[in-house]
Chains A and B, each alone.
Chain A
Amino acid sequence: MGGLFSAYAWSKVWGFRMGFLTGLGNTLLTALLGILLALALGLVFGLMETGRIRGLRVIAGIYIEFIQNTPILLQMCFIYYALAFSGHSIGIVPTGIIALGIYHGAYMAEVFHAGIGSIPKGQFEAAQSQGFTYMESMRYVILPQTIKIILPPMVNQVVNLFKNTSCLYIVGGMDLISVTYSFVTGEKTGGAYSPAYLLCGVLFFLMCYPLSRLATSWEMRLKRKEMAAAVTAAKAA
């Protein structure tokens, strides 16, 4: 079983604990900054897609379709090699942050788009009749109302982003997955497959599962509220 029950294998893992911690740190750093970039891009392109300017809508549409229909691994490699072979290499972690931010930004944009689309038109009109500009009505009236709707799919994207940090491996990253793999195949440390993979899996699960649960329970609560509202509306009518 690759040393799942061997104390020696586990002691090897323990001896390499600093390596695993570094990997975990890199994964967390990449993910957190990637999330920030994805949120920023998602908001900008989501607003562009819902806006009234045709040119901006087309640009946002192209970005979203192109990014969503090609693999993150290919995008990551392309950015990395394009920078490397033009002599502007910026390091693996920053490349990963940019690639993950751009990839999940396209999904976040759709989330924002759907959220804004779910707000009744009357809200825009009311805000505008009060003298709010487009940006102001977004900022103070529309976006605050979308938060409840967009949080569950947004958190799901965060979970996917965590899992996709593994795309760093292909260009020789030092994230959790890459560190685990170099540990199990390393000349001095090799062999302890089961304990190392179990540790790596558990760490990822601990990062992702609470978020997944949170998203699911939010979604359920939202659905229950909608049902309750529909029932009251039916009774009133």
Chain B
Amino acid sequence: MRELEGSLSILKNVNILIYLMRGVAFTLIISAVAVIIGIVFGYILAIMRNYLSHGKYAILGRLAAIYIEVFRNTPLLLWIFICLVFVQTPKIFQVPLMGLSSVEVGLLFKGIVALTFFESSNIAEIVRGGLNAIPKGQFEAAYSQGFSAPAVMIYIILPQVYHKIVPTLLGQVITTIKDSSYIANIAVIELMARTRQVLSGAWQYNGLNQVNVTDVFILFGFAFMVYFVIDFTLSMIVRRTQKKIA
């Protein structure tokens, strides 16, 4: 009983609570950036893979296909480690930012780059699914009206694709929020890493001079709850939009 009280007192500590909530904020920021840039890359990759498989630019189509398959068939953590070594943090991100040290900002940058590359390949496949669902007649009708190929894409095809893939894209946001926890392997910035960090120091916060199993339950329970509330809300929205489309 004393142990449980000790564990609960950790979460009553305002500083720790702020520390964890900042982690939640970083989890959301990381995921938002990765998804937004990932959608841009994903669209480009999907269009390249689908419509540049023949002709002058066939090499671009091949490259897009290779990119997508390579990233989809290797673990995110490998890409995080690769970016850790091979990505240079630009000067503007080598400064303390949002309560992080400049070293942490650099790690955050590299982690986001890896996550963005990784999610781009998944989003590309989602967009491709949407593109493939557009009837051929749409293209033919647009061409017969004298639209150029880029105009057909931008004005006729992509708006229809966007409508079809909204639920799947939202589902990918859930996946991205979960995947962002892999950044905990290189830096203590987001929720997952901060939960572990607090646990490792729990012996001094719970006033019992040792880490108890109740600390694990309380701290991880908190993290579980936060992830669940965010992701479950999103998945309810996914279901509603799916019903609307169907």
**Residues on A facing B (Cβ under 8 Å):** 2, 65-66, 68-74, 77-78, 81-82, 85-86, 159, 163-167, 169-170, 177, 180-181, 184, 193, 197, 200-201, 204-205, 208-209, 212
**Residues on B facing A (Cβ under 8 Å):** 69-70, 72-78, 81-82, 85-86, 174, 177-179, 181-182, 184-185, 192, 195-196, 199, 211-213, 215-217, 220, 223-224, 227-228, 231-232, 235
A82 — which chain B residues lie within 8 A by C-beta? 213, 216-217, 220
A208, B78: Cα distance in complex, Å:
14
Partner of B231, one of A2, A69, A212: A69
A65 — which chain B residues lie within 8 A by C-beta? 232, 235
**Besides the known contacts A74-B192, A200-B78, 6 further A-B residue pairs in the complex with CB atoms under 8 A apart:** A72-B178, A78-B224, A163-B75, A204-B73, A208-B72, A208-B74
A204, B184: Cα distance in complex, Å:
21
Provided the pairs A78-B220, A82-B217 are in contact, do residues A70 and B182 lie with their beta carbons within 8 angstroms? no
Query: Nearest Cβ distance between residue A197 and chain B, in whole angstroms?
Result: 5
A167 — which chain B residues lie within 8 A by C-beta? 77, 182
**Structural contact, A197 and B232, CB atoms closer than 8 A:** no
- A-B contacts, 29 of them at CB < 8 A, read A66-B228, A69-B231, A70-B224, A70-B228, A71-B178, A71-B181, A71-B192, A73-B184, A74-B192, A74-B220, A74-B223, A77-B192, A77-B196, A82-B217, A85-B213, A159-B73, A165-B75, A166-B75, A167-B77, A169-B77, A180-B81, A197-B85, A201-B74, A204-B75, A205-B70, A205-B73, A208-B72, A208-B73, A212-B72
Query: Nearest Cβ distance between residue A84 and chain B, in whole angstroms?
Result: 8
B213 — which chain A residues lie within 8 A by C-beta? 82, 85-86
A68, B238: Cα distance in complex, Å:
14
A74, B231: Cα distance in complex, Å:
14
A164 — which chain B residues lie within 8 A by C-beta? 75
Which partner residue on chain A sits nearest B179 by CB separation? A71
Provided the pairs A78-B216, A212-B69 are in contact, do residues A177 and B75 lie with their beta carbons within 8 angstroms? yes
B227 — which chain A residues lie within 8 A by C-beta? 69-71, 74
B81 — which chain A residues lie within 8 A by C-beta? 177, 180-181, 184, 197
**Structural contact, A166 and B77, CB atoms closer than 8 A:** yes
A72, B184: Cα distance in complex, Å:
12
Instruction: Describe A's contact surface by its main secondary structure.
Output: helix
**Structural contact, A177 and B220, CB atoms closer than 8 A:** no
Q: Which 3 A-B pairs have the closest CB atoms?
A: A69-B231, A208-B73, A166-B77
A205 — which chain B residues lie within 8 A by C-beta? 70, 73-74
B231 — which chain A residues lie within 8 A by C-beta? 68-70
A200, B85: Cα distance in complex, Å:
15
A193 — which chain B residues lie within 8 A by C-beta? 85-86
Which partner residue on chain A sits nearest B230 by CB separation? A69
**Structural contact, B185 and A169, CB atoms closer than 8 A:** yes
B195 — which chain A residues lie within 8 A by C-beta? 74
**Structural contact, A73 and B192, CB atoms closer than 8 A:** yes
**Structural contact, B224 and A74, CB atoms closer than 8 A:** yes
**Structural contact, B85 and A2, CB atoms closer than 8 A:** yes
**Structural contact, A85 and B78, CB atoms closer than 8 A:** no
Provided the pairs A74-B192, A170-B185, A177-B75 are in contact, do residues A209 and B69 lie with their beta carbons within 8 angstroms? yes
